[in-house]
């Protein structure tokens, strides 16, 4: 998938998961979803040309280089008898549920130990990733949500921000898993169940039947998947779907909508 599609599906996943995780306010939900959208791009840090690898210049390029080296080393040690003769760099270690779980756990522990400012750093980095992929509209939306949230809970804003530490670990993990599921729909597939051996392969690329696969950046992604999730990105916002149902129901039943 292209970066913008990964970020958009991550945004939708964040909106869907937030209420299940106990996030109730609109401001918190937007912060949660923006974080998930950003970290839905993080697995591509294993590619030197990815948005995540270029985001912070030399710093993220260095992290990308280290991740590719680690992924290649793990692949060479763990590949099964039927795994491909591959470098094991791109779409390997960072494209697994194991990676998502470990990173999410590390973020949860790190934010709980580091406090509000570490939480803010995780959110800002995710927001920058998402903004780079989806466009500048996301900055005022998520930034405004954060300011609104701080105003709502003032003078306890820092305490409330710190309390989101564990939730952000979940947001990061959900973003990474969403990325893997998206890549699994492409022709290349994704080995996201590593290290579970399947058919003699430790890095088995899961993918649907050929008729349901699509090529990255081509017609299906651009004309179907991205527009569909663009609509979902709005419908999943708290309160939008119930409001729309209340608006449309009287029209479908032939009953005039109530005034006021």
Other CB atoms within 10 Å distance of the CB of residue 199:
7
Extents of the domains making up the chain: 3-253
Structure-token match 């994704």, residue found: 190
DSSP-assigned letter for residue 94? G
What's the confidence (pLDDT) of residue 173? 97
Compute φ and ψ for 206, nearest 5 degrees: -75, 140
What's the confidence (pLDDT) of residue 249? 73
What's the confidence (pLDDT) of residue 114? 83
Q: In the structure encoding, which two tokens stand for residue 83, read together? A: 């795994």
Chain centroid to CA 142: 15
What's the confidence (pLDDT) of residue 178? 96
Assess contact for 100 and 170: CB atoms under 8 A.
Answer: no
Residues of the chain with pLDDT under 70: 135-162, 217, 251, 253-260
Question: To the nearest 10°, the Cα dihedral for 173, 183, 139, 154?
Answer: -20
Assess contact for 67 and 45: CB atoms under 8 A.
Answer: yes
């Amino acid at each position: 998938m292209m970066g913008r599609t990964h970020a958009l599906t991550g945004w939708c996943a964040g909106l869907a998961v937030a209420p299940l995780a106990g996030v109730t306010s609109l401001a918190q939900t937007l912060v949660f979803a923006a974080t998930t959208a950003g970290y839905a791009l993080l697995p591509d840090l294993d590619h030197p040309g990815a948005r995540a690898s270029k985001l912070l210049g030399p710093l993220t390029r260095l992290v990308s280089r280290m991740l590719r080296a680690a992924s290649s080393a793990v692949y060479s040690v763990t590949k099964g008898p039927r795994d491909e003769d591959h470098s094991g760099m791109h779409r390997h270690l960072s494209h697994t549920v194991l990676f998502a779980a470990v990173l999410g756990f590390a973020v949860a522990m790190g934010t709980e130990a580091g406090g509000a400012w570490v939480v803010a750093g995780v959110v800002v980095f995710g927001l920058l990733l998402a903004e780079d992929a989806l466009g500048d509209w996301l900055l005022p939306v998520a930034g405004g949500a954060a300011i609104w949230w701080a105003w709502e809970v003032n003078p306890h804003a820092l305490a409330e921000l710190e309390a989101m530490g564990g939730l952000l670990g979940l947001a990061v993990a959900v973003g990474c898993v969403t990325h893997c599921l998206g890549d699994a729909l492409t022709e290349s597939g994704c080995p996201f169940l590593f290290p579970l051996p399947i058919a003699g392969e430790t890095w088995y690329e899961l993918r649907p039947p050929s008729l349901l696969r699509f090529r990255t950046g081509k017609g299906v992604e651009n004309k179907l998947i991205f527009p569909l999730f663009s609509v979902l990105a709005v419908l999943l916002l708290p309160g939008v779907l119930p409001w729309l149902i209340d608006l449309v129901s009287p029209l479908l039943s032939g009953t005039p909508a109530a005034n006021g």
